[in-house]
Amino acid sequence: MNKRRLGNSDLYVSELGLGCMSLGTDPKKAQAIIEAALEAGINYFDTADLYDFGENEKLVGQALKSARDQVIIATKAGNRWNEQKDGWSWDPSKQHIKEAVKASLKRLNTDYIDLYQLHGGTIEDPIEETIEAFEELKAEGFIRHYGISSIRPNVIKEYVEKSNIVSVMMQYSILDRRPEEEALPLLHKNGVGAVTRGPLAKGLLSGKMLDKVTSKGYLDYSYEELNKTIPLLREKLSDSHSMVEIALQYNLANPAVSSVIAGASNVQQIKENAEAVRKKPLSEEELTIIKSIAKMNRYEQHR
């Protein structure tokens, strides 16, 4: 599988990364999925201390132990579970981040984290303090690089201007084109890699897409719009591509994108996603067709 440089860092990530949140809590099942990912050429694994109260990090660390020097492990911090474990609070403070990284390192059973990410963020946060925490962790050797996970334009701009982030994780798909107008061009211009999540739009762009259309719609798409847009995409493009291939290759066509993160709850999904990423890129004509069918949504909040 092809690899791309993550921003201006020395990390080269597979074009498809594994989003580990959907691994579940069964160690054997998680091991099988991660091994299938490694066999498919995936070297980029994304987790967070929030997932399953930290158990996800333990599963990922254990499954990747024998391949540690060949993979890139990304995790996140900033959310704190309460004592009852029925909710969490936001804490981007320097103290919390520097404590959280030690707990993540222990659960992952590793001496360093390749990419440490802020798991959210608001414009009201003490951003300079948060950046200071990440810079200190980098200088101390606990992390190699840092980034943020955010879809908020005002927060993204602050970190691009004030920090040395190498990546921004954001939701992006054919049905969620909000990053195209300002976020992706900003990252590309400043040498920050985009790591995209949700490329299949909660399964709407998978092979079972029409089964997943609900009366609630998706983002600013109504139920009726989805029932028009999705079949039209399939009609115009699926003679030569699977819907999964169209969805993943659309993300990879943007020059700002370093890797597309997709979850998998079974081995077959890994194989299908990896096969789709290995296919030839979409042509300019095909990209034009997609953009003529899918609406250009825009970020309305967090300006």
Residues known to be catalytic: 51
b/e per residue 56-66 (b: at least 16 CB within 10 A): bbbbbbbbbee
Query: Which residues make beta-bridge pairs with 184?
Result: none
Question: Quick check: 242 and 207 in contact, CB under 8 A?
Answer: yes
| Integer angstrom CA distances of residue 105 from 18, 99, 181, 271 | 19, 10, 37, 29
End-to-end CA distance of the chain: 37
Instruction: Return d(Cα 66, Cα 85) in angstroms, integer.
Output: 32
- CB atoms inside a 10 Å sphere around CB 213: 19
- Report helix, strand or coil for 67: helix
Instruction: Return d(Cα 245, Cα 257) in angstroms, integer.
Output: 16
